[in-house]
Structure 1
């Protein structure tokens, strides 16, 4: 994403690198895009060790220490003794300004939940370049604003032939951001190490293909640390099957998170609660019998059930807000 927005506003010239030659040796290269150096972030709880690493790297590569992290590839970091906030306020405001919506009325939600988009919604745009660029920039915002993941994923399906209805939906996201551009992730030092997860699916949500959309998120204490929203590649015959496949994906993510936290010497209490709003899905996971109606999801059953039996995960029912 950095190279898409790295236009230079001044004349910069460079020598040709080794191995690259032109037929005319008098030619000079003029850059039209910025060249980005390698930027790395050091994190840890041992300042002496961090300083030793910086000295070693500087001896080998001649690095420049920019001090405490405040801004990194479009993300802003605010911190004090008890917490860290990660957000993209400047990036969001620049995006809103570039689209001419700085004076637009803010929206209370990122999308209109009473309507759904399809390939036939609205009239085709005469030039799809602006839409594609806008959605690409919105994708980067999902790194710190998880509630945009579902809608931006939906808008990404119409890159080949976007319509004015799709563009209006993208603009609504910008009006939603306008009311609170500094929305982001918050990490507290007083947080607990209790891990919990939530899974859900939107069965047959895609009006064009009737494929289902899956989603899950995991919290460490009160802090969101992992989330995903994705349209799956298959069409399923039942709502329970869709819910179960999402639960299996969430269980795999849980296994990965536990391994990652173990590398940081963090050991969340087990079993980890995974919340689901479908009782039949929980019954399938806890039942030792495979039925005729569940044999097509047998592999997913084993994934979820084994972790349930090993007391790594604990399935709990949650009432849907729908």
Structure 2
């Protein structure tokens, strides 16, 4: 992590003005990832169009008995954050497109949501199940499957090597350092956005 931070001091997020006003979320969990306690790490990324606007990673305070439990608890937390974010545009009278896609790489989790199946689950997970299923029935969210290699939230929950760069390109991160060829006043930012299309934006910096 220290090496990554040292090598990317000028990297930042880019918020394009042309982005669509649609929310989407990726949630994931790394089951029993803590060697000492076997507690799991959860994480989520929430986008507005192509812009990353909210993210979180956290080691949970409880131990889950399966990867399905861990991932479902992560989805419950992600949904609560989505609901909170959705209130902001509504307060300004801006319509928000629904349902909001929530991407998951575990088909068992999606099956529980679609069929409202609760078998031998504990009380805290039961609450998450009801929250997620209720919002699914109300049409606020739509639960979609995503392949593991395209699960952006993996970057927040797992130790990655080569896949790290692939997922990093989907976060719309840009180098904000000035271009030496332009005398320090103008630079170019590049990133992979949407369906893999390359976006280039020009910006001006004060030579100061």
* Structure 2 SS opposite 1:188: coil
- Choose 1 or 2 for highest CA Rg: 1
| Unpaired runs of at least 5, structure 1 | 1-109, 111-172
- Which residue does the alignment assign to 2:197? none
TM-superposition CA deviations, 1:241-285 (whole Å, max 9, x none): 000000011111111010122223332210000001111011111
1:270 matches 2:137: no
> Please, which of 11, 14, 24 is the counterpart of residue 183 of structure 1?
11
1:294 matches 2:121: yes
| Unpaired runs of at least 5, structure 2 | 150-162, 164-208
> Please, which of 209, 213, 224 is the counterpart of residue 41 of structure 2?
213
CA RMSD, Structure 1 to Structure 2 (Å): 1.5
| TM-score, structure 2 normalization | 0.68
- Which residue does the alignment assign to 2:83? 255
Distance 1:288 1:229 in 2: 27
| TM-score, structure 1 normalization | 0.44
- The 5 Å alignment of 1:12-91 reads none
* Structure 1 or 2: more strand by fraction: 2
> Please, which of 21, 41, 47 is the counterpart of residue 193 of structure 1?
21
List structure 1 segments (4+ residues) > 4 angstroms apart after TM superposition.
none
Distance 2:95 2:128 in 1: 26
Distance 1:268 1:196 in 2: 11
**Maintained 8 Å contact 1:193/1:266:** no
> How has the CA–CA distance of structure 1 residues 180 and 305 changed in structure 2, closer, same or farther, with 3 Å as cutoff?
same
- Which residue does the alignment assign to 1:118? none
> How has the CA–CA distance of structure 1 residues 286 and 295 changed in structure 2, closer, same or farther, with 3 Å as cutoff?
farther
Total equivalences in the alignment: 149
Distance 2:97 2:105 in 1: 23
Distance 1:270 1:180 in 2: 36
* Structure 2 SS opposite 1:209: coil
- Which residue does the alignment assign to 1:19? none
- Which residue does the alignment assign to 2:65? 237
* Structure 2 SS opposite 1:187: coil
Shift of 1:200: 0.3
Shift of 1:295: 5.2
- Which residue does the alignment assign to 1:30? none
TM-superposition CA deviations, 1:200-247 (whole Å, max 9, x none): 001111111110011011000000001110011001111100000000
Distance 2:11 2:94 in 1: 27
Distance 1:289 1:213 in 2: 24
Shift of 1:188: 1.1
Distance 2:116 2:79 in 1: 18
Higher RCO structure, 1 or 2 (CA under 8 Å, sep 6+) = 2
* Structure 1 SS opposite 2:15: strand
